[in-house]
Amino acid sequence: MSLNKITKQISGTEKEAENNGRISIFSRFKLTTELTLLVIIVFIFIVMTVVTPNFMTIYNIGNLFKQASVIGIISIAATLVIISGGIDLSVGSLAGLVAMLVSVMISGNYMAKPILPAILITTVAGIVIGIYHGFIIHEIKLPPFIATLGSMIILRGIVKWISQARTIANLPESFTTFAKLSLFNSIPSLVLVWLAAILIIHIVLTRTTFGRNIYVIGSSQEVARLSGIRMRLNIYGIYILAAFLCTIAGILMTSRLSSAIPTGGSGYELTAIASAVIGGASLSGAQGSVIGTMMGTILMVMIVNAGVHLSINPFIMEIVQGALLTVAVVIDMLRQRRS
C-alpha cells in the first residue's frame, strides 16, 4: 500500500510531464479556468435563450443576478478562507443569523431599533463571530473544518432560537426598497454591491501585502511564520473579513426577500465552496481567485435557474449541483497531483 504511495508520489510528476499538452489548461489555470468558465456560461446562456422563451427576460436575468449577488459575496468569503488553507462551513448560517437579527430588530417585534443602528449592531455581531473563529483557530488550534462546523450548527441554533422558528416579515419599506433599486434602470443595486466586493477583494488579494500573505499561509504556515508573516494578525484578519462579507450578504438577502426565514442561507456554504473550487480555488490552499469564484457562482446559480425553466425536478437539480461540486473537487485533485 505504501509503496503505491511512493510510486504515486514519483509518478505524479511523470503524469504531469506526459500530459503537458492536455493539462496545460490547469497549469496556466488562473486565466484559463476563468476563460473556460466564461465559455461554458455563455454556452448555457445561448442554449437557454434558444430553447425557452422565459429565460432571456429582463425579469429572469435580473432575478438570477440578484440571487447570484448574495451567494456570490458569500462565495468570496469562502474563497478567502480556502486560499489560506482553511475552510469556513459557517458562512451560510452566519448570513442567516445576520438576516434574522436585522429583521427582528427592524420589524419592531422586540429589540426594536431603527434601520441604521440595527445594521450596525448586526455588523458588529458578524465581526465578533469572525474574531471568535480567529481565536479558536489560531489560539486554540482547532482545525478550521471542525471549528466552523461547530459554528455552523451553533449559529443556526441561535437563528431558530431568536426567531422561535418563525418567519419574520413586515419589514419597513425603507429597508426593502434597497434591493429594488437599480442603476440606469438596469443594473440592480445588489449586483453593484457584489461587483464592488469583487473589485475590492480582488485588489486586496493581488495588490496588498495582506492578500499575498494569505496565499503564503495557504501554502505553508511554517514557511509563512519563518518568513516574518504575523500569523495572529493575518489569521484573525482572514476570518474577520470573511465574516464581514457574510454580514453584508445577510443584510442584502433580507432586503431582497423582504423577510427572514429560520433556514435562510442554509446550504449556501456548500454552494459557496463549490463556486470557489469550480473557480480554481484549491482545497489544499494557496490557489484561487475572486474572478474565478465569481464565474463559479454564476454557473452554479444559472444551472438551478435553467433547471426551473426546463421544469426539471428541483430534487434532480440538487443532484446536479452535488455532482458539479464533486467534479470540481476531482479536478482540484488532478491539479494537485500535478505538483
Partner 1 sequence: MNGPRKEFVRVVQVSKRFPGVQALDNVDMVVHKGEVHGLVGENGSGKSTLIKILMGVHQKDSGKIYINGKEVNFKSPLEAQKKGLSAVYQEVMIVPELSVGENFFLGKLPLNRLGFVDWDKVYKESQKTIRDLGLEIDPRRKISNLSFGDRTMIMIAKVVREKANLVIFDEPTSYLTIEETDTLFNLIRLLRDKGLGVIYISHRLEEIFKICDTVSVLRDGQMVGTNPLPDVDENRIVSMMVGRPIDEMYNIRRAEPGEVLLEVKNLTRDPDFRNLSFYLRRGEVLGFYGLIGSGRTEIMRIIFGVEKPDSGEVIIKGKPMKFAHPYQAMAQGIGLVPEDRRFQGLAMSLTVRHNINISSYGEITNLGFIRRKDELSRTEKLVDALNIYTPSIEQLVNNLSGGNQQKVVIAKWFAKNVDVLIMDEPTTGVDVGAKVEIYRFIEGLIQQGKAVIIVSSYLPEVMGLADRILVMAEGDFMGEVRREDADEELLLSMACKVTLNSAAH
Residues that bind partner 1 (CB under 8 A): 1-7, 9-11, 13-14, 17-18, 20, 24, 27, 207-210, 212, 215-216, 219-220, 222-231, 284-287, 339
Closest CB to partner 1 among residues 30, 113: 30
Closest CB to partner 1 among residues 258, 284: 284
In angstroms, what is the minimal distance from the CB of 258 to partner 1? Answer: 39
The residue type found at 104 is: V
Which DSSP symbol is given to 180? G
Residue 108's Cβ-side half-sphere holds a number of Cα atoms within 13 Å equal to 6
In angstroms, what is the minimal distance from the CB of 33 to partner 1? Answer: 16
Closest CB to partner 1 among residues 69, 213: 213
In angstroms, what is the minimal distance from the CB of 279 to partner 1? Answer: 17
Q: Rounded to whole angstroms, how far apart are CA atoms 320 and 291?
A: 23
Closest CB to partner 1 among residues 53, 228: 228
User: Ramachandran region of residue 110, left (φ > 0), alpha (ψ -120 to 50) or beta?
Assistant: beta
Closest CB to partner 1 among residues 215, 268: 215
In angstroms, what is the minimal distance from the CB of 134 to partner 1? Answer: 16
In angstroms, what is the minimal distance from the CB of 138 to partner 1? Answer: 12
- Calculate the alpha carbon distances from 96 to 174, 206, 238, 267, 272 in Å: 21, 30, 20, 10, 14
- Cell triple for residue 273? 465552496
